[in-house]
Amino acid sequence: MFKVIRESFDKKKGRALRIISLLKKEYPQARCSLDFQNPLQLLVATRLSAQCTDERVNLVTPALFKKFKSAKDFAKAPQSELEKMIKSTGFFRAKAKSIRLAAKKIVDSFRGKVPKTMEEMLSLDGIGRKSANVILGNAYGIPSGIAVDTHVLRLSKRLGLSYAKTPEKVEEELMKLVPKRDWILFPHLIISHGRKICQARKAKCGGCRLNKVCPSSLV
């Protein structure tokens, strides 16, 4: 649980900056946990990661990327073959169809290259703001926004940064608190902390570096 606190924007922003500083020291190697070598690979891996662990996705993608090397390859991939290769990631029929449609759009509308703007990314099948932020930020280094997954959503509330109920609103509020230079890194810091310390079922407050700035600390 978390407690809602009312405070000035400046105070909340100050806490956000302190949190970022502390997490950078705690997780200096924080990065995207999906394995990829180019924007297309990250797009496919991001789509596969829905309702699936990144670890599982990383087990599936080496063979997938060896067989399908371009957007054209994915667009022309037989649905049944793609389904078979990604089956262990769950929801494989919908994911296979989505990947093929997105790849076709990339070939038809973007000359086979994953686009570099939010508007264009959102035109691809299965790509919402979170996925677009992940791809634009980690593949292109473009800080288009802040990717809000379940960890970011949960910790934003626990840390008193946003009590909004939707990922879109949480992102909007975080973008005002987090310096643009940290938009890409911020989710990775939060995800690392959410996995190691601030877990969903029971936060390990006793070993948390953020105790002095966290309004939900039990220490």
Which positions are catalytic? 130, 149
Dist CA 69 CA 89 (whole Å): 20
What's the token pair of residue 169?
Answer: 């609103």
Cα–Cα separations (whole angstroms), residue 214 to 12, 67, 72, 77: 11, 47, 48, 49
Query: End-to-end alpha-carbon separation of the chain, Å?
Result: 14
Contact 164, 173 (CB under 8 A): yes
Dist CA 113 CA 105 (whole Å): 10
What's the token pair of residue 211?
Answer: 């105790």
Dist CA 177 CA 171 (whole Å): 10
Any residues with CB less than 8 A from the CB of 7 and at least 6 apart, and which? Answer: 160
Any residues with CB less than 8 A from the CB of 178 and at least 6 apart, and which? Answer: 16, 20, 146, 186
